Amino acid sequence: MTIKTEHGTFECRELTFKDRRELHRIEVSCIKDDNVDMEKFIVVLDWVMQFAFDDPEAILGKLDDNQIDQVLIAIYNGYKAPSKKK
């Protein structure tokens, strides 16, 4: 999967059904009373980072933390988008 952001274009590992369910399980844990626990959402982004890249530090290491989060949120949104494959 290719994700384009203002910080560059990133090639990310494809999400399988099993991986999508694991991500869903993690993300559900960060919602309480219709609010997102940002500390737990960072756990979601860390999972996305470790899953998407073989060497996250080599790929994202030159960005600051806010830029890294922006890239990871773009990847997360790409993973959550409905599949266009039929």
- C-beta separation of 44 from 71 below 8 A: no
Is residue 86 predicted with pLDDT exceeding 60?
no
Cβ contacts of 42 within 8 Å, gap of 6 or more: none
> What is the value of pTM for the model shown?
0.88
Question: Could you tell me the end-to-end alpha-carbon distance of the chain, in angstroms, rounded to an integer?
Answer: 16
* 76 within some domain: yes
Q: What is the pLDDT of residues 3-54, one digit of tens each?
A: 999 999 999 999 999 999 999 999 999 988 889 999 999 999 999 999 999 9
* 85 within some domain: no
Closest CA to 50 of 7, 12, 10, 16: 12
Is residue 58 predicted with pLDDT exceeding 70?
yes
* 56 within some domain: yes
Number of domains in the chain: 1
- C-beta separation of 48 from 24 below 8 A: no
